[in-house]
């Protein structure tokens, strides 16, 4: 009994710690659901492919993803592009290489083994182009940011990173009269370091901006949802493997527990009480 009380207290303590992480005044992320939530959730390949397209056409104008290599897009459990497709899409990016024989760095089309580059040569240039705000690398953003702070939600669905990205993209509003926002910034109550954000409204997404081959809807909200799912995958590319291994381990442990119980009963059966 004492063990349970201790465990219970520990869990409660952890939950409260997680609960205290909210920045002051930051609004909780919008509670939208994704196919990959819960212990049996899977990434939706078609959605990841659409999310990639949104990243490529819109977000990659400002944000890098330096922990993701182009070839990862063909890995199992991901968007499921073919090797040929990966070669072609890598070549649409320019990456820096060198120095060449003349001692100078040069640009060349990307190869599958390259990582998603930054569109800017360095951080200063990136800030300069964005009114002083640095567009962060997006590879791990859905792990780096917690989206909501409800204890039960976090236990069941994770920390809400994709919901956070979705909420930032769709959360631009007219600023309340009592809040002042510096010139060149926008009001976004969902932004972790907000409410003033240096990213232009909706990360420059506009209704219909990206056309999907499968004819999927492409309002700002739809594209924000797809790119958030894609960024959940970039932050945890082995999620499906982890979940199926976890499930196999649970079954194994359940069978083992049953066997141990039977063995214990058998061994102790002739001991007089
Ligand atoms: C025109 C440049 C630009 C584009 C295009 C753009 N962003 Fe941003 N983004 C920024 C800048 C600059 C910041 C940093 C804002 C700040 O610090 O005030 C930012 C911040 C963010 C943040 C918040 C990061 C944090 O620290 O919590 C997210 C999430 C984000 N962008 C996602 C996206 C996604 C997804 C897209 C594509 C749909 C996108 N952005 C397109 C410039 C851009």
- Residues with CB under 6 Å of ligand 1 are 54, 58-59, 61-63, 130, 133, 135-136, 138, 141, 145, 165, 168-169, 192, 197-200, 203-205, 227
Indicate which atom in ligand 1 lies nearest the CA of residue 231.
Answer: 35
- Structural domain containing residue 232: 26-267
pTM of the model: 0.84
In ligand 1, which atom is closest to the CA atom of 131? Answer: 12
> 167: closest CA among 142, 147, 143, 195?
147
User: Can you tell me the mean pLDDT for 211-220?
Assistant: 92
**Of how many residues is the chain composed?**
273
Q: How many domains does the chain have?
A: 1
Residue 120 phi/psi, 5° resolution? -110, 150
The percentage of residues in the chain with a pLDDT greater than 90, rounded to a whole number, is: 63
Which of these ranges, 13-27, 85-99, 189-203, has the smallest mean pLDDT? 13-27
- Is residue 147 situated within a structural domain? yes
Residue 1 lies in a domain: no
For residue 30, cis peptide bond before it (omega within 30 degrees of 0): no
Q: Is residue 73 part of a domain?
A: yes
Longest dimension (CA), the chain: 90
Domain assignment present for residue 2? The answer is no
Average pLDDT over residues 21-29: 69
Is pLDDT above 80 for 11? no
Q: Whose CA is nearest to atom 34 of ligand 1?
A: 59
Residue among 199, 226, 234 to mutate when testing ligand 1 (max atoms within 8 A of CB): 199
Residue 229 and residue 235 in contact, taking contact as beta carbons nearer than 8 Å: no
What b/e sequence results for 223-250 when a residue is b if at least 16 CB atoms lie within 10 Å of its CB, and e otherwise? bbbbbbbbbbbbbbbebbeebeeeeeee
Neighbours of 22 (CB within 10 A): 14
Mean pLDDT to the nearest integer, 125-144: 93
Given its phi and psi angles, is residue 28 left (phi above 0), alpha (psi -120 to 50 degrees) or beta? Answer: beta
Q: Is residue 16 part of a domain?
A: no
Rounded Cα distance, 170 and 202, in Å:
6
What is the spatial distance between Cα 104 and Cα 265, in angstroms, rounded to a whole number? 76
User: Residue 125 and residue 133: Cα distance in Å, rounded?
Assistant: 11
Whether the predicted pLDDT of 222 surpasses 60: yes
- Please state, in angstroms and as integers, the Cα–Cα distance from residue 260 to each residue in 134, 266, 271, 272, following that order: 57, 10, 17, 21
We report the CATH number of the domain holding residue 236 as 1.10.760.10
Domain assignment of residue 4, yes or no: no
Q: What is the distance in A from the centroid of ligand 1 to the CA of 16? A: 29
Among the listed residues 185, 140, 179, 184, the one whose alpha carbon sits nearest the alpha carbon of residue 27? 179
Tens of pLDDT along 159-173? Answer: 789 999 999 999 999
Tell me, yes or no, whether 18 lies in a domain. no
pLDDT given at position 19: 45
Is residue 128 predicted with pLDDT exceeding 80? yes
**pLDDT(89) > 70:** yes
d(CA 110, CA 94): 6
25, 195 in Cβ contact below 8 A?
A: yes
% residues pLDDT > 70 (the chain): 89
Cα 44 to ligand 1 centroid, rounded to whole Å: 24
Average pLDDT, rounded, for the chain = 88
At 125 the pLDDT is: 94
Closest C-alpha residue for ligand 1 atom 42? 199
> Does residue 9 lie in a domain region?
no
Read off the pLDDT of residues 90-126 as tens digits, 9 standing for 90 and up.
999 999 998 989 999 999 999 999 999 999 989 999 9
CA of 1 from ligand 1 middle (Å) equals: 50
């Amino acid at each position: 009994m004492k063990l349970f009380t201790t465990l219970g207290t520990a869990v409660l303590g952890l939950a409260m710690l997680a609960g205290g992480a909210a920045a002051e005044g930051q609004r909780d992320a919008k509670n939208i659901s994704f196919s990959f939530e819960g212990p049996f959730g899977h990434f939706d390949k078609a959605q990841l492919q659409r999310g990639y397209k949104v990243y490529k056409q819109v977000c990659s104008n400002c944000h890098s993803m330096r922990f993701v290599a182009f070839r990862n897009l063909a890995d199992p459990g991901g968007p499921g592009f073919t090797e040929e497709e990966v070669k072609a899409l890598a070549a649409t990016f320019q990456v820096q290489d060198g120095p060449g024989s003349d001692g100078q760095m040069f640009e060349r089309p990307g190869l599958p083994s390259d990582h998603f580059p930054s569109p800017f040569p360095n951080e200063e240039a990136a800030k300069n182009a964005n009114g002083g705000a640095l567009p962060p690398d997006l590879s791990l953003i859905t792990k780096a940011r917690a989206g909501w702070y409800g204890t039960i939600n976090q236990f069941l669905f994770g920390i809400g990173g994709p919901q956070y990205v979705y909420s930032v993209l769709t959360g631009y509003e007219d600023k309340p009269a009592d809040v002042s926002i510096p010139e060149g910034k926008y009001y976004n109550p969902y932004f972790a370091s907000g409410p003033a954000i240096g990213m232009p409204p909706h990360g420059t997404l506009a209704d219909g901006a990206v056309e999907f081959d499968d004819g999927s809807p492409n309002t700002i909200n739809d594209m924000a949802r797809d790119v958030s799912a894609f960024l959940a995958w970039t932050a945890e590319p082995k999620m499906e493997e982890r979940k199926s291994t976890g499930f196999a381990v649970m079954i194994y442990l359940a069978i083992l527990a049953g066997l141990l119980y039977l063995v214990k009963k058998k061994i102790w059966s002739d001991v007089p009480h």
